[in-house]
Amino acid sequence: MPYQQSISRLEGGDVVAEFGPMRLVISAFVGKVPQQQMSVRAAEESFTYLERLARLKRFLGKRFPRMPADLKDPIAIKMIRSVQAVGNQNLTPMAAVAGTIADAVADFLYNRGMTKVVVDNGGDVAVRLEREASVTVGIRQEIDKQEISNVLSLDSRSSSWGVTTSGLGGRSLTRGIASAATVIARNASLADAAATDVANASYIEDPHVIQVPSEEIDPNTDIPGLNVTIKVGPLNEDKKSLSISRAIKRAEELTNKGIILGALVAVQGKVAMTDFFHKCLVE
């Protein structure tokens, strides 16, 4: 059954593209002038990306130790490369799907002369900036709540940024216990795969951490045979610290390899972040 599609124009120039369960908020500017019609074109283009990936969903739900020689779709190739770069053999390319779609839409606009682009795919954000443009991105320390706890400032020292979040209560399954693991990278595809990995690294054993086989939650899961977290009860401060230290350690490993730029990890109100992430915060 085909997914329903819709495009909505918002006041201020933003455009919302909805494709089944996926919702993209697209913002494009030249200088300070919103380019809503270009955002509509990007929304229309996003449907073709999503339709292609929908046809490849089962294929992309497998693990790829190497790139398939006969694969031609550039978005699917980018998903695989991002997961391979992160280097966690338990991840499939689907760990990067939302960020990669956001990147593809952002690049569509950036390649057509937009000087500021923000594409928000359900909290996975792709940013493109030129000519001293800058943006702020709100961060949530609990992925399943709307409250913004921190704000990042990104500028055109880099033309491309990705900011994505994974964790307990998000739209994807997690193997960790972080209430949020937010990653900054040079693109949203890498950030998305890395955020999944960093969030998974936050797992600790505790009687209050409840896990079940992933197939019990989603019979069509791309990680069959692995346990996922469904509930985390109150943890003591030592357990929170242990969880965060494991996730931050993984983030620092990815940073040292040049895969990501920085990360923030939150567990039940306790927060830690890497140096680069802290430098991007608006005080």
- Report yes or no: 267 and 178 within 8 Å, Cβ to Cβ: yes
Share of the chain above pLDDT 70, in %: 99
* Rounded-to-integer distance, Cα 2 and Cα 250, Å: 39
CA separation (Å) from 5 to 14, 65, 76?
17, 34, 21
Q: Distance between CA 183 and CA 59 in Å, rounded?
A: 26
Q: Total structural domains in the chain?
A: 1
Does the model's pTM come out above 0.85? yes
DSSP string, 64-90: -SS--TT---HHHHHHHHHHHHHT-TT
- In degrees, rounded to 5, the angle at the alpha carbon of residue 23 between the alpha carbons of residues 171 and 212 is 10
Using an 8 Å Cβ cutoff, are 151 and 282 in contact?
A: yes
Mean pLDDT on 99-127: 97
Residue 244 region, left (φ>0) first, then alpha (ψ -120 to 50), else beta?
A: alpha
User: What CATH code is carried by the domain that includes residue 222?
Assistant: 3.10.520.10
Give the residue among 210, 219, 246, 197 at the shortest CA–CA distance from 83. Answer: 197
Domain range for 37: 5-280
Radius of gyration of the chain, Cα coordinates, nearest whole angstrom: 18
For the segment 50-92, what is each residue's pLDDT rounded down to a tens digit? 999 989 988 999 999 889 888 999 999 999 999 999 999 999 9
The string of pLDDT tens digits covering residues 231-283 is 999 999 999 999 999 999 999 999 999 999 999 999 999 999 999 999 999 97
Say how many residues make up the chain.
283
Find residue 22's DSSP bridge partners. Answer: 19
Q: Is residue 111 predicted with pLDDT exceeding 80?
A: yes
pLDDT tens readout for residues 25-51:
999 999 999 999 999 999 999 999 999
Please say whether the beta carbons of 53 and 76 come within 8 A.
yes
Q: Residue 71's CB: how many other CB atoms inside 10 A?
A: 14
- Rounded Cα distance between 95 and 116, Å, is 26
Q: What is the pLDDT of residue 2?
A: 66
